[in-house]
Amino acid sequence: MATTNDLKNGIVLNLEGQLWTVVEFQHVKPGKGPAFVRTKLKNVLSGKVVDKTFNAGVKVETANVDKRTMQYLYNDGTDFIFMDPETYDQLPVSPEVVGDAARYMLENQDAVVARHDGDVLFIELPASVVLEVTYTEPGLQGDRSTGGTKPATLETGAEIQVPLFLNQGEKVKVDTRDGSYLGRVS
């Protein structure tokens, strides 16, 4: 148990039998009346985001979530296999739990695996990853470094928009949250 004064981004709450991650929180002390905490909560399983307001100092139940850095080994056709680097235990994770993270995962890459009561809740990748462009149309004469974009396929199979001057075989930095191009890596 914790109070609403202890809330931090990333803490997982157990509200009415469902697990919710605190995405944002703000302590508000109005001129009149008692203080309260305004939060934005994301359902761990469904991904639904809701706004919820708590009175300041109210007790909330926190969920015991084990976040551990694990190494992604391979996809066995049905599940993604992760390994704990300390114990070498292998953990199969279903594609539904991995979700969009699969678009940016390479074998032997580290990811944070969050578990609660033995169940895997979600996979968290670093904010950005470096991937190689395996296919993109060649840029045309007259293309400038600013301006348009073109589709490019990455080594993981994901397709993103990149500037016209990028060529096949170059490495790019990609934001794992929204799949946007962040820059070229030499």
Mean pLDDT score, 92-101 = 89
Domain segments of the chain as ranges: 2-60, 66-124, 128-185
Pick the CATH number of 2-60 from 3.40.30.10, 3.40.250.10, 2.60.40.1930, 2.30.30.30: 2.30.30.30
The architecture in CATH of the region 128-185 reads Beta Barrel (2.40)
pLDDT at 145: 54
Q: pTM, whole model, 2 decimals?
A: 0.73
C-alpha distances in Å from residue 120, one per residue of 60, 66, 93, 94: 23, 9, 7, 9
pLDDT at 146: 58
Give 144's pLDDT tier (boundaries 50, 70, 90).
low
C-alpha distances in Å from residue 81, one per residue of 87, 110, 158, 172, 176: 15, 12, 19, 26, 20
Q: For residue 47, is pLDDT > 90?
A: no
What pLDDT, in 10s, does the model give residues 17-42? Answer: 899 989 899 999 999 899 999 999 99
Residue with tokens 């969920």: 63
Please give the share of the chain, as a percent, with pLDDT higher than 90: 56
Strand duo 66-75 + 181-185: pairing: unpaired
Give 163's pLDDT tier (boundaries 50, 70, 90).
confident
Tell me yes or no: is domain 66-124 CATH 2.40.50.140: yes
Question: What does pLDDT average to over the chain?
Answer: 89
Same fold for the pair 2-60 and 128-185: no
Mean pLDDT score, 156-182 = 91
**Alpha helical stretches, state H, the chain:** 95-98
Radius of gyration of the chain (CA): 21
**Are the C-beta atoms of 120 and 72 separated by less than 8 Å?**
no
What pLDDT, in 10s, does the model give residues 50-66? Answer: 999 999 889 999 988 88
What residue type is 50 in one-letter code?
Answer: V
pLDDT at 121: 86
